[in-house]
Amino acid sequence: MTKAYVKSAAPLKVGIAGLGVVGAGVVRLLDRQAGMLAARAGRPIKVVAVSARDKRKKRDMPKGSWRWYADALDLVGDPEVEVVVELIGGSEGKARALVEAALKAGKGVVTANKALLAMHGSKLAAMAETKDAPLAFEAAVAGGIPILKALREGLVGNRIERITGILNGTCNYILTEMRQTGRDFGVVLKEAQQLGYAEADPSFDVDGIDAAHKLAVLTSLAFNTQVDFKAVHVEGIRHVSATDIAFAKEFGYRIKLLAIAHRTARGIEQRVHPCMVPSDTPIAHVDGVFNAVAAEGDYVGRMMFEGRGAGSNPTASAVVADLADLAAGRRLHAFGVPAVKLQPLKAAPMADHVGRFYIRLIVRDQPGVLADVSAVLRDEKISIESLVQRGRSEAENQPVAVMLISHEAREADMARAMKKISKLRSVLQAPALIRIEPL
C-alpha cells in the first residue's frame, strides 16, 4: 500500500483568501466530497482559515470552525496553513502581495488568477522553485476544463504546434444570442448583464483582455516560453454586428472570439480576435457560456476539450483538483519545465500574419464606389474572392452595406488598404474587418 492511501495521514491544511462565488464553491465542494477526496488524495483536505472583506455577509456555504482574518496576508503568518488559495483576483495589489508572500514563506499556492499569471507568471514560477513551494493554477484557464493538466501531463510527449480556444464565456454567450435571435451587440450585452453573464463594466470580457490573459498562460505551458502578455494581439467583439453574423451564416461560417497561439517560422503568434470559422467544425458549435480548447500535437493530432469555463462549481472543481494533487504529493513545474528553462518568447509579428478576411463597408449608393474600393485593394495586392451588396436603394447617395471576402492576404497589406478605404469620400463608416480561420 502506497503512502498516498494511508488513512492516518494528516490533513492538508488550507487557507482561502476570497469568499466570493468561487471561494464559497470551493468550501462547498470540500465539504460535500470530503470522503471521496480523502480516498483519492490519500488524506483529507481541511480548511483551517479564511479571509474576506465582510465577515457578516451571507454566503452559500457550510459554516466551519476556521479562523477568520480581515487581512488576507495574515493567512501567510498562520502556522497551520500549508497552502494558500488565492481567489481575490487582479494582477496587482493584495492578490499579488499574498501570492508572493506565501511563496517566499515556502507555502504552496493555488490560484484562479489569470491576470496575475499573465503579468507575473514567469517570476512567480521562479520564486516557487527557489523556495520549493508548489504553485498551481488549473482554475485560471477555462474553468472546469482540465486543459493545463492535459498539456503538462497527458500531452507531455508531444510538440504542441497550435492552441485554439474559446476562452471567454461572456463573449461566446453574446455572439451565440446574436446569431440565434438576430439582435445587435448592445441589446444582447445588456441582457447578459441582467442575467449575470456580464459584469457591469464588461470591458475585460468584450474587449478580449480576459481571453488574452488566459492565452498568455496557455502559450507558456504549451511552448515552454516565458509568459509574455504584451506580445498578444487583442481585439474584442464590440464591432461585430448582426449583419456580419447573418452574412457569415449565409456563407457557411459562424463568428467566434478565438484565442490562438501558433508556432510559425517567424516565431509564435499570440492573437485574440473575432473569427469566422466554418460552421461544420466542432468549435463552431460550442455555444452559450461554454468554453473549448483545441490542442494540436505532433503525435496525437488535434484534441478538443469542451466544458463550462466559469462559474462557482466548475472553477471550484479546478481549484480542488490542484489541492488534491498537493495533498497526494503530486508536484510538477508550474509551466511544465523548470522556470530557468522557459525561453524568451519570440513573437511572430502580427503584421506578417497571412489569412483571408471578411470586410464590411457602409458606402453611398452611387456609381464608381466599388471601382474605387477595388482599386485600393488591387494596389495592396489583395484580390477579392466574393462580393455582396445589401440594401440597394432607389435614390442615389443613400447608405448601403457591401461585404467582401478576400483571398489570402498579408495583415500589413490589409491594414494599409483599410486605412485608405476609410478615407474614400463614398465610405461612410470605418470598415469592419473579421479574419477567417480555416481550422
Please list the active-site residues.
214
Sheet with 135-136, edge to edge strand ranges: 67-69, 45-51, 12-17, 83-86, 108-111, 135-136
The C-alpha atoms of residue 410 and residue 211 are separated, in whole angstroms, by: 24
CA 161 to CA 50: how far, in whole Å? 41
Helix (H, G, I), strand (E, B) or coil at 23: helix
Question: Residue 359: CB partners within 8 Å, gap ≥ 6?
Answer: 403, 404, 405, 406, 418, 431, 432, 433
DSSP letters, 197-263, are SS-SS-HHHHTSHHHHHHHHHHHHHHHTB---GGG-EE--STT--HHHHHHHHHTTEEEEEEEEEEE
CB burial string 350-369: b at 16+ within 10 A, e below: beebeebbbbbbbbbbeeeb
**How far is Cα 143 from Cα 293, in angstroms, rounded to an integer?**
11
Bridge partners of 110?
85, 136
Instruction: Return d(Cα 245, Cα 223) in angstroms, integer.
Output: 33
d(CA 283, CA 305): 10
Q: Is 323 exposed, middle or buried (0-12, 13-18, 19+ CB in 10 A)?
A: buried
Which secondary-structure segment (H or E) carries 318? helix 312-327
CA distances from 352 to 248, 264, 348, 410 (A): 25, 11, 7, 6
Write the single-letter amino acid at 375: A
Enclosing H/E stretch for 379: helix 369-379
Contact assessment for residue 94 and residue 72, using Cβ atoms and an 8 Å cutoff: yes
Q: Which amino acid is at 75?
A: L
